Amino acid sequence: MGTPFDVTWMPDCIRGISELGRRVDLPLRHRLREVVLEADARLKEAARTWGDPVSDLRGMRVILFARPYVRDGLSVRYAVHVDRPVVFVHRIDAIPGGPFDVS
């Protein structure tokens, strides 16, 4: 196993998770917590291979990734630094039509 990644959950992401948790019932809140814990663990292990690359921000030296949880109707969006084992999780979105889509 390689060097573990340092994972930072951005404040806006944490607020979004909290807001999403307030809008759903208790079983979905528990599942949201499980998804966050699983995502954190996976990102610490293999951030560059866990999600799908969606954009290369060369000036910032990061690659943006997305990892869908299709069954749960969530998508985790994060950035990985090109040269260092650093990850910034910036969003967890509800996938339209999924169980977390309460709009």
Chain centroid offset of residue 55 CA: 15
Q: Give me the sign of the Cα torsion angle 93, 97, 98, 102.
A: positive
Q: What is the pLDDT of residue 1?
A: 55
The architecture (CATH level 2) of 6-94 comes to: 2-Layer Sandwich (3.30)
Quick one: what percent of the chain has pLDDT higher than 70? 98
Tell whether pTM > 0.85: yes
- Round the CA-based radius of gyration of the chain to a whole number and report it: 14
Residue listed under structure tokens 């292990």: 45
How many other CB atoms are there within 10 angstroms of residue 75's CB atom? 18
